[in-house]
Amino acid sequence: MIAALVAGLLAGYGIAMPVGAVATYLVALTARTSLKIGACAALGVATADGLYALIAEAGGSALARAIEPVLLPLRWASVLVLIALAVRGGAVAVRQFSRCHAPASVGREAPVSPVRAYLGLWGITMMNPLTVIYFAALVLGGQAASAPGHLEQGVFVLAAFAASASWQLLLAGGGALLGRALTGARGQLVTALGSSLLITVLAFRLLVSSA
């Protein structure tokens, strides 16, 4: 059981720690909103990682092979969603900056709800099927040495979820600190536009890497 726990923690941190477009968006979202919103979004990412770990434990290589024919369409969908988020984030930042400098302001941007943040980041992360391939490879490698029981499989999945959740919450905390440090309208505009640009670059890099 200890081996399954350690393996799950290492697997969860291994898939969560590389900072890509989703992590960048998570930090930017928390900086623009609040730690509560960021924490919910972080748990959405971790839930997707945990589900993929569960899928890999349940199906292993068979599911990895089944997903392979649709890798490119799913990658395109993920890229398009990330670009849309980058464009929307930049547009909202410009609109809010304009309102701050307008003589009068009418209305405010609708806040992001915790449920919407959770489901949004969960959906984006679930569109990355390479995660299940990553976990499947780890699971199959472990099964080559010994066949784990149901208890060990459950421990592995929960440990992977906990590791991913702890890292995503750390990123959200960084986003909250960034938001408090850059409370001025100009600072928020610059960071939001920089985040949108970085997300776009990472999204295109994701697409190019699959070519």
CA neighbor of 199 nearest in space, from 112, 81, 97: 81
Q: In this predicted model, what pLDDT tens digit does every residue of 115-163 receive, in sequence order?
A: 999 999 998 888 876 666 666 666 655 544 455 577 877 888 898 899 9
Tokens 């697997």 belong to 11
- Cβ distance 163 to 9 under 8 Å? yes
3-state secondary structure of 7: helix
Q: Phi and psi at residue 104, in whole multiples of 5°? A: -140, 145
From residue 53, how far is each of 6, 13, 110, 118, 158 by CA, in Å? Answer: 14, 12, 35, 19, 9
Considering the entire predicted model, what is its pTM? 0.69
